Amino acid sequence: MNKLVIAFAVGLVILNLVAGCSGEEPTTTKSWATQTTTSSTLPAPSPATVTALETKVLVEGLVFPEGPRWHEGKLWFSDIHARRVMTVDMDGKTETIVEVPGQPSGLGWLPDGRLLVVSMLNKQLLRLDPQGLTVVADLSGLASGNCNDMVVDDLGRAYIGNEGLGTHLSPPQFKVGMAEIIMVTPEGDTHIVAGDMIYPNGTVITPDGLTMIVAETFGLRLMAFDIEPDGSLTGKRLWAVLGDVWPDGICLDAQGGIWVACAESPQVIRVLEGGEVTHRVKTAGSAFACMLGGPDLRMLFVLTAPTSDAEQAKAKASGRIETIRVDVPGAVSTGK
């Protein structure tokens, strides 16, 4: 990992520990969570207690797989640079669901079962109707950068992050612009519900629907919010500091642990609130996203690729979906 990049990102964390959490009132613990962190600092992550687990390859030959969701007995995902939404079953059989010219990323579903897709480059939220893709909302006036990952709650409200204005990490200049999380209602109404985020990426909602946890990739941390009845986000606070890990896609298990894909690194880790690392899984390629699924929700799917660079990824077509069995199943929504 580039030491200059790490130093730059760590500097951002220090600056934003005050800026990102200042002015927030302490919040009470939600019913699902066992502990709510309100302090502006957390201890550094501990060494993982398990370090030798390795994966098996389920699918290979993809370009850049991302945004995985377990739904109706299959893993759904976006092959971003191939510009298509796909599924894969437990036997490794893939199917293309829809082509997305604007480059697909985050996926989710409305209560009526229709698929929602983030279109990154044109900053839109799309819905897959019987006649094809329909624009639910144009976010170009709200999102500072290209739209990215998304989580959809039980009411069909979509929460979408973006890369931030001018964000890039290529030499000789490193720049990370602040970004927003935008909520889109099923009717297409849009609201900025969080700002000053350092590349908000993978996102999960706790089973009771009361807490959202967001990976800030270049903040090297996980942040938490309370979800209010109207869908707004309050009580911004640190959930875990991740040391030199760039968190990308994340998923939540039934015991409150979060599996974190370590962007640009061949591993995923399981983290508890406060930063304790309980498991570390080695992967064949750099891990960009993960999801718990399978019939008993104990299969961890890890989406990997040699690089996130579009041209290099398309030239290599070496993206993979790797799997490993874990002890704790994925969290299941309890509804609202």
Q: How many CB atoms lie within 10 A of CB 130?
A: 5
**Within a domain: 269:** yes
pLDDT (0 to 100) of residue 335: 57
pLDDT (0 to 100) of residue 334: 67
- The radius of gyration computed from the CA coordinates of the chain, to the nearest angstrom, equals 18
| CATH number for 130 | 2.120.10.30
pLDDT (0 to 100) of residue 167: 64
End-to-end alpha carbon distance in the chain = 42
Per DSSP, what are the bridge partners of residue 20?
none
Could you report the average pLDDT of every consecutive run of 10 residues in the chain (336 residues)?
A: 44 43 34 31 48 81 97 97 97 98 98 97 97 97 95 98 76 73 98 96 97 95 98 98 95 98 92 96 94 97 87 81 96 73
pLDDT (0 to 100) of residue 39: 31
* Residue 336 token pair: 């609202």
pLDDT (0 to 100) of residue 151: 98
pLDDT (0 to 100) of residue 47: 52
**Within a domain: 336:** no
Give the span between the Cα atoms of 87 and 101, in whole angstroms: 18
Tell me which residue has tokens 């580039």: 2
**Within a domain: 334:** no
pTM for this one?
Answer: 0.85
The two most distant CA atoms of the chain are separated, in Å, by 51
**Within a domain: 333:** no
- At position 328, the amino acid (one-letter code) is V
**Within a domain: 330:** no
Give SS3 for 255.
coil
How many domains does the chain fold into? 1
CA distances from 61 to 1, 73, 81, 193, 287 (A): 25, 22, 13, 38, 15
DSSP category for residue 82? G
**Within a domain: 273:** yes
pLDDT (0 to 100) of residue 34: 30
CA distances from 266 to 29, 35, 38, 299 (A): 34, 30, 32, 18
Give the span between the Cα atoms of 63 and 274, in whole angstroms: 35
Per DSSP, what are the bridge partners of residue 7?
none
**Within a domain: 95:** yes
Find the domain containing 115 and state its range. 3-325
Residue 279 — φ and ψ, nearest 5°?
-145, 150
pLDDT (0 to 100) of residue 306: 87
pLDDT (0 to 100) of residue 28: 30
**Within a domain: 122:** yes
CA distances from 117 to 146, 170, 257, 268, 327 (A): 14, 28, 26, 25, 31
Give SS3 for 2.
coil
